Every structure is written in structure tokens, then in C-alpha cells.
Amino acid sequence: MSLSAFAIAVLLLLLTPGPTNTLLAVSGASRGLKASLPLIAAELAGYLTTILPLVFLAAPLLSDQPLVALGVKLASSAWVLLLAVRLWTRPPAICATGGINGACVYCTTVLNPKGLIIGLALIPSASLSSFEALSTPLAYLAVFALLVMIVATGWLSVGAAVLRGVATARPRLIGRVAASFLVLFAVSLAGRAVGLI
């Protein structure tokens, strides 16, 4: 896959609503864009935690281990359900310093199946044996990091600009709508993992 085709595929994947994007939008709505900007680093760190070992170590090994992939998908579903319960019962308050934090975004992103898709299917795998073998995946990773920062800023901005008024008037509504989306993501992911969907 060429670098430009990779960039388009990753951009479409990152723009797709999912658990991490939901958390970013809710943080933008509850804390504002400026206060939520550090979450971008947490998202990028989460993706790289998943993607780097896949690209450089695990891609050849995981192709023959469907149970490992199933376990990761089910763990992701359980984490997203836990986040949904938290958002339903304790929606983030406007300007709250608690609620959605870097650790929460990091863990959600580590368990986000988008990382698996990017690490196993979109970025060429490589051996750590030589710089030449590393140069291609490193170029793809640089483009990926730039796209994560752009898209994450977009989701935070949508939360801050579009959802903030609703969050101010009805904070529980934002938490419960976000929780409902997270439940749908979790059920969908679990259903695909076990072959029901």
C-alpha cells in the first residue's frame, strides 16, 4: 500500500466514531478544547503502545493465533462497557478536572480495535535487524502520528463547539448519550468477535 493510500485509509478509520473519539468529544464538551488538548498525547501513546509491537514483533506470530485476537476483542468490549457504566452513572461535569482523563483515554485507545487494524493490516511489518528494514514502517508511523493529532483535535473541537451548550444545560444527557454509543460499540465488537454479527 502506498503512503498516500495508507493516509486515506487511516484518516477514514480515525474519523469513524468509536470509544476514543466519544471520550474526546465528551471531554471537549465538558472541559473545553484547551483543557482537553493533553488527551491527544494520551491517544497517540495508546495507539503506539498497541501498534509498535504489532508492526515490529507480533504480526507474523498473530496470524496463526485466532484465540489471541478473540481475547483482545473481548477485553476491548469489556473495557468499553465499563466506560459506558461510568459515563451513565457519573457524567462529566462542565470544567471538571476529573472524569475523562489521560489514563482513561490511553487505556481505551490501547484496547481500541482500530489499533489492531492499523498495526496488523495497514502498516508494513518490519524486522528490527537493520535501518533499511525500519525506514518504511517509520515513515508510515510518522504519517499516522500526524493524522492522530489532526483527527483528535477535530473530535475535541466538535465536543467543545457543538456539544458544550448541551453539556452546560443538560450534563447528564451528554453522559448518557455517550454511554449509549459506547454500549453499542461494545456489543458490536463482542458480537463480531464471537461470530454473531
Query: How confident is the model over 101-120, as pLDDT tens digits?
Result: 999 999 999 988 788 878 87
Residue with C-alpha cell 515513515? 139
CA–chain centroid gap for 30, Å, is: 19
The count of C-alpha atoms lying within 13 angstroms of the C-alpha of 139, restricted to the half-sphere facing its C-beta, is: 11
Q: Is the pLDDT of residue 31 over 70?
A: yes
Query: For 159-184, what is each residue's pLDDT tens digit?
Result: 888 877 765 667 677 667 777 777 77
Residue with C-alpha cell 474526546? 24
CB 73 within 8 A of CB 13: no
From 141, 124, 142, 122, select the one nearest 133 (Cα to Cα): 124
pTM (whole model) above 0.85: no
From 69, 61, 9, select the one nearest 195 (Cα to Cα): 69
Q: Which residues contact 169 (CB under 8 A, 6 or more apart)?
A: none
